[in-house]
Chains A and B, each alone.
Chain A
Amino acid sequence: MLGHSALPFYIHRFSAANGHAIAAFGMTPAYLRDQRRGFSTFEFQLALGAPLGPGDPVRVRSALLHVGTSSMRLLHVMTNERSGERVATLEQLGVHLDMDARRPTPLPEALREKARAVLVPTGD
């Protein structure tokens, strides 16, 4: 309505970034398909900054902040690559989902180890 990017489109881009971020520690599309697993979000904290207009180039950088038994916390930061301004941030909490039971299920230890190796310390 105001010539800005609409809310769902921020989330679509963050979701795409999340797919790449979790693949970096082993939750790859092949793993998710073969093991009947998913990443299911249970909490979002979205903050919007500078507005985005048509044609603005954006980049999303992502970090894994926490990994638990079945849960993960990631931070995604979107910047306008033309202006350098921070456009939006999304803190995303999700679980390793058993697609058949429709319930969280523990991450395999090997995968959790890979996740720990890419954790970004937050100081909390």
Chain B
Amino acid sequence: MSGWLETYRGTVSRWEVDHNDHLTVAYYFARIADAGLGALEAIGLGADYAAHERRACVTVDCYARYSRELRVGDILHIESGVGGVEPAALVLGHKLFNSETGEVCTTVEQQVGHVELVVDGRAAASRRGAARPVGRAGARAAPSTARAQGLPRLRA
């Protein structure tokens, strides 16, 4: 995976709009979660990887900036890329566009920790405790964002 990859395409449904008459913030995160899974799939860290390696990437931190509204009926898409690589974590960058105007509406930096899944009969992983960060001991102990680490901000 190099550069930006389209990871989501959709529209704003009426039931996703709140009392401010724009897309509810939680529904941005539903789409970013999907986009994140798409990006992980593209770099070989998707569902098959989790099933075979018993390791997975779980979100530990997100930084979002909302710059333009999305309203009912708007069409949107997301482009994603890898903004940072750490021993046991990745920083994924997402740009959410209004597909009609081409404007960037929201940017998100999503830090995912690479953890071992617990094998106890349940498909359960923990961000802390039972799951262990892969890469270096304690890498997940203090989640921090790209912002906190001074990495460059993702630009539209």
- Taking Cβ atoms with an 8 Å cutoff, the residues of A that contact B are 1-4, 6-12, 15, 32, 38-51, 53, 97, 99, 102
For the complex, what is the distance from the CA of A53 to the CA of B122, rounded to whole Å? 12
Residue B124 interfacial (CB < 8 Å) = yes
**Residue numbers in A under 8 Å from B126 (CB-CB):** 50-51
A97 to B63, CA, bound (A): 22
Q: When the two chains form their complex, are residues B143 and A48 in contact, meaning their CB atoms are under 8 A apart?
A: yes
The listed residue (A7, A97, A99) touching B59 by CB distance below 8 A is A7
Given A47-B143, A48-B61, A51-B128, is A1 in contact with B27 using a C-beta cutoff of 8 Å? no
| Interface check B82, CB cutoff 8 A | no
The distance in angstroms between the C-alpha atoms of A75 and B58, with both chains bound, is: 23
Q: Are A2 and B69 in contact (CB under 8 A)?
A: no
User: Which residues of A have CB within 8 Å of B64?
Assistant: 43-46
- Inter-chain residue pair count (beta carbon < 8 A): 102
B59 proximity list for chain A (CB < 8 A): 7, 48
Chain B positions within 8 Å of A44 at CB level: 25, 62-66
Which of B2-10, B14-22, B85-93, B95-103 forms part of the interface with chain A?
Answer: B14-22
Assess whether A2 is in contact with B123, with CB atoms less than 8 Å apart: yes
Q: B124, A3: Cβ atoms under 8 Å?
A: yes
Q: A4-B125, A38-B20 are in contact. Are A11 and B26 (CB under 8 A)?
A: yes
In angstroms, Cα B16 to Cα A69, docked, is: 29
Selected from A3, A40, A43, A51, the residue in CB contact (under 8 A) with B127 is A51
Contact A47 B69 (CB under 8 A): no
B11: CB under 8 A from chain A? no
30 contacts between A and B (CB under 8 A): A1-B37, A1-B47, A1-B123, A2-B50, A2-B58, A3-B122, A3-B123, A3-B125, A6-B30, A6-B33, A7-B29, A7-B59, A8-B27, A8-B33, A9-B26, A38-B21, A39-B20, A40-B22, A40-B66, A41-B25, A41-B66, A42-B65, A43-B63, A43-B64, A45-B64, A47-B60, A48-B58, A48-B60, A51-B126, A51-B127
Residues B61 and A46 in contact, CB atoms below 8 Å apart = yes
Which residues of chain B come closer than 8 Å to A8, judged between CB atoms?
26-27, 29-30, 33
B-side contacts of A10, CB under 8 Å:
29
Does B150 sit at the interface, judged by CB under 8 A?
no
- Docked pose: A10 CA to B32 CA in angstroms: 14
Residues of B within 8 A of A51 (CB): 58, 125-128
CB-CB < 8 A to A48: which residues of B? 58-61, 127, 143
The residue in chain B whose Cβ has the minimal distance to the Cβ of A53 is: B124
- Which of A2, A46, A97 lies in contact with B62, CB distance below 8 A? A46
